[in-house]
Amino acid sequence: MVKRKLAKKAFIVYWSQTGNTEKVAGSIKQGLEAAEVQVTVKKQADAGDVDYFDYYLVCVGAPSYSWHPLEAMAKFLKDKRVELSRVRQRFRGKTR
């Protein structure tokens, strides 16, 4: 019997003004790729059409101000939460 590895995909979305968060995202990407994970990295402004369900792992990076995420990232995550709740409602009551 031949064992087959399942391809794992990760998505990293980040917001970075000074480049520090972008560097962290790049480091996370390198680590995941070393573990043979396929990685997609996008800035928050370019990630609106991403379907989280296409990925095994989703990483979110942004600076925090007064213990809260940057407003642009907070809005992005809230919008995604609404989108995901619509998907969840579609599948509610269905079994695997």
* Dihedral pair phi/psi, residue 56, rounded to 5°: -75, -35
Please state the pTM of the whole predicted model: 0.76
Which residues, in sequence order, are CB contacts of 77 under 8 Å at separation 6+?
60, 69
Q: Are 59 and 9 in contact (CB under 8 A)?
A: no
Please check whether residue 56 lies inside any domain of the structure: yes
Residue 86 lies in a domain: yes
Residue 1 lies in a domain: no
What CATH number does the domain containing 64 carry? 3.40.50.360
3 domain-assigned: no
**Residue 44: closest CA among 68, 17, 14, 23:** 14
pLDDT in tens, the chain (96 residues): 555 455 689 999 999 999 999 999 999 999 999 999 999 999 999 998 888 888 889 999 998 888 888 888 888 888 888 776 766 565 565 554
Give me the domain span that covers residue 17: 9-91
